[in-house]
A and B are shown apart, each in its own frame.
Chain A
Amino acid sequence: MSVRASATLPSPAVSRRQIAIAGIILGAIAWVITIPPIHVRSLVPSIILAVIAVCAGAWSAAGGERKLGIEAIVLAVLAVAGAEASAHSALGTLESVFTWSALVAATLRYMTPLLFAALGGVISESSGVTNIGLEGMMLMGAFWGIYGADLLHSWVWGVIVAMISGAVLAAVHAFFSIHLRADQIVSGFGIIFLALGITGYFLEYHYGPNGTPLNISMIPNVKLPLIQHVGFFGIAIGDANLMTWIGLALVPALTFFLFHTRGGLRLRSVGEKPRAADTLGLPVLRIRYAAVIASGVLAALGGAYLSVGFVGSFSNDMTNGRGFIALAAMIFGKWKPWGALWATLLFGFGSAMADRVSSVNPTLGTLFEALPYVVTLIAVAGLVGRSRPPAADGIPYVRE
């Protein structure tokens, strides 16, 4: 592109884009004003805002910002539906659903296991190995975490055993996908079945029909001394689990590693251009092994949070599809740690809302459970902007 073109193009394009984003924000506001703490009890302001948002979306869509524009329109329509729902609900109901402090706390709880697994997925796929098996690795972490914590009487050991189990299972996946050049999606599925079988088998073998013992040493919550009793913040973040904070800390740490260190550059180069990396003397296969095993460790930490950190016991298939949601979050987050964080926060919020709504209206709550998946479907279909996996993701590397 010539210098002139790049100099003249931005200004109109950016303004269309800004209008679309403004439309999205207006659409969101149209709904937000109808719920606590503002709760406007009339539909009129929401409709006015939504109409403006639709106009903004349509204008920018016509001007080339198709995805953002359509997104603004969709959001505005949803906002009116949401506002309509709020307007028809009793104030007390609204207050009990939208207790923001409790919602934030629940969001963090639901987010934590997803975040660990999604970050694991980011590492593995950045190195060029698709990891559908996150679910299985989480499950291993969940069971062996409990086993370790029970056997060695300490949650620290539980977490360590969980990490080892995740690493072992990930090593199997790595061996099949890197060395044997298996189809990585199929091999990932094999990993999941294997984990289901192994955890179920050893649960029964070690603990029998009574299940895991009740007095497991659990990962503690972090009581923030200053804000623990400060109203909103106290409830929202004053008493979150240690793993939640570790997970949140991992996001900038991993971003720094991936994008600002030599090791991260190597990892990404192996995932984008393995041939070039090999030519430069990088050990492609070894880096991929390390990445897949690291992803197994992270996913297992997510599983360990579920069992040792939150529930205090293990039951069969207790991850219940969270590995797949984490996978979706990774894709939704465009294969980046921060993206994964926002996506898992969104999914966590969806689950927290579903919980809340269920307590008022179980039928509606069930439908809310499906919401994260619908959102992912829309995201993958490209309304939110096409995300691009690492170029060599899922392709075994063969040296010439």
Chain B
Amino acid sequence: MSTLDEELQAEAEESGAAAARSPASLTAFRRGLSGVTIPILTAILAFIGGGLIVLATGHNPLTTYSSIFDGTGLNWLFPWVSGSERATAAGNLQQTLIQATPLLMVGLAVAFAFRAGMFNIGGQGQYTLGGIAAVWVGSSFRGMEPVLHVLFAIVAAAAAGGAWAGIAGVLKAVTGANEVITTIMLNWVAIWFGVYCFQLGGPLHSSAHDMTTTPVSNTVVNGAKLPVFWGSAALQGLDVGIFIAIGFAFVFAILIKRTRLGYEARAVGFNPDAAETAGMSAGRTWIRVMLICGAFAGIAASLDILGWKFDLFTNDVQTSQIGAYGIAVALLGRNTASGTTVAALLFGALLTGTSNRNINLSIDPTLVQYLTFMIEGLIVLLVSTDVITLRLIKGGRQLGLAVRRRPAAAAAPGPDQGGEK
């Protein structure tokens, strides 16, 4: 296929012009339609599935979900909520948005790789490396100009995350090592490296803290903290990180649609061999895409560190699930900027709504936390097939996932088929 043809088809896909009669634009129209309804259906089905388990264990799913909803703070949007209830709701909504910030960034990190036909499971490791870099820069360099300090910390986190993801990109480009396995391995290396950094005797361990508590890093200095614009800084109000993340969602959309790299990424994701024939280098694209993905995930961590965490405990590093959530967010958001943003908000709300302190006592709060995992699992399971449904509808491979060089029908032999994992 010539470059021109691809360009035209890609344009048609993106424009989503339903009126045009070419098959490509028709499928684009279908995608636009199913791109809204299927994620919503998926989420609803998953909530029903979770509700059934709640019901089976003798709790009322409706009151459970309504208390989760109140816990998210979304009731702040209702004009009739007032007084102290409104203040609580505001606080909860701030937490929801704080949670959504890194989810969005890591979701973008996963989504961008999907668009280039790669599965970036390494969000966790890239986030961890970004966090280490951000907390180190943020707690060192005292007396730096505040704006510069914040920028420096974010850039350092982006570089650290990017470099970490870049390892997977280089390995894929040079040796053909499957990124699914390499990023999983890099996650664990990153986690142990993080523990090593902050543990007793580690290079970034804070000696100022009490020896009896969990080992922790130094605290970010005031000048490197992101400003809080809603609520009080003392009560962990909402910092400007959410705007930075949304800004990056726009960057993501522009990168994908308006830049040469985005075009090459989609072309390589569409069909690496065809892209090579058209004169692009699949390997170089993979490396660049992974660098950007890692930078997104690294920035996610820096927004957390500079926005509200301010330091990193070793058990923060070990128990964080952000990489897993990021995958669910990207999948539910169908790897688009807007979809990922909405999905990040949904998961941020779910996490906040089910976190201990927000639940009223009609149901055991710990139970509700695990409900989040079940709902997430159901969403991911359902998404895994609807990817296929879409693939069948289009008989094509527009969606990032479908591009893993696997023919829909099996049986094509050859060592490369399953990919090297």
Contact = CB atoms under 8 A, between A and B. Distances in A.
Contacts of A204: 364, 366-367, 370
Given A186-B380, A366-B199, A369-B192, A395 B410 contact: yes
Interface string B364-384: 101101111111111111111
Q: How large is the interface on A (under 10, 10 to 19, 20 to 34, 35 or more residues)?
A: 35 or more
Interface stretch (B29-37, B144-152, B183-191): B183-191
Nearest to A136: B377
B418 A393 contact: yes
A370 B199 contact: no
B385 interface: yes
B401 A183 contact: yes
Given A196-B370, A274-B410, A391 B418 contact: yes
Dominant secondary structure at the B interface: helix
Give the one of B188, B379, B382, B410 with max A CB within 10 A.
B410
B384 A176 contact: yes
Interface in A353-398: 362-363, 366-367, 369-370, 373-374, 376-377, 380-382, 386-398
Contact of B384 (A183, A328, A369, A374): A183
Give the one of B177, B186, B415 with max A CB within 10 A.
B177
B384 A190 contact: yes
Contacts of A189: 324, 327, 380, 384
Contacts of B371: 197, 201
Interface string A181-205: 1111111011111111110111011
Interface residues of B, number: 67
A283 B90 CA distance: 58
Interface string B404-421: 101111110111011111
B380 A181 contact: no
Contacts of A182: 381, 384-385, 387-388
B228 interface: no
Contacts of B413: 272-273, 391
B408 A363 contact: no
Interface string B114-142: 00000100000000000000000000000
B272 to A, nearest CB: 17
Dominant secondary structure at the A interface: helix
B246 interface: no
A189 B374 CA distance: 12
A196 B374 CA distance: 7
A382 B185 contact: no
A174 interface: no
B182 interface: yes
Contacts, number: 208
Given A190-B384, A193-B324, A377 B189 contact: yes
Nearest to A364: B196
B415 A391 contact: yes
Nearest to A274: B410
A392 B201 contact: no
Contacts of A116: none
B176 interface: yes
B100 interface: no
A39 interface: no
A394 B419 contact: yes
A373 B185 contact: yes
Contact of B374 (A198, A373, A386, A398): A198
A172 interface: yes
A276 B184 CA distance: 34
A182 B404 CA distance: 13
Contacts of B411: 273-276, 392, 397
A190 B380 contact: yes
B195 A201 contact: no
Contacts of A273: 411, 413
B180 interface: yes
Given A189-B380, A204-B367, A377-B186, 19 more contacts: A132-B180, A176-B381, A187-B385, A189-B324, A191-B377, A192-B324, A201-B57, A204-B364, A328-B185, A363-B199, A370-B192, A370-B193, A374-B189, A380-B420, A382-B175, A386-B420, A387-B420, A389-B420, A395-B407
Q: Which 7 A-B pairs have the closest CB atoms?
A: A197-B373, A194-B377, A197-B374, A193-B377, A190-B381, A275-B411, A190-B380
7 contacts: A190-B384, A193-B324, A204-B366, A370-B189, A370-B192, A393-B418, A398-B410
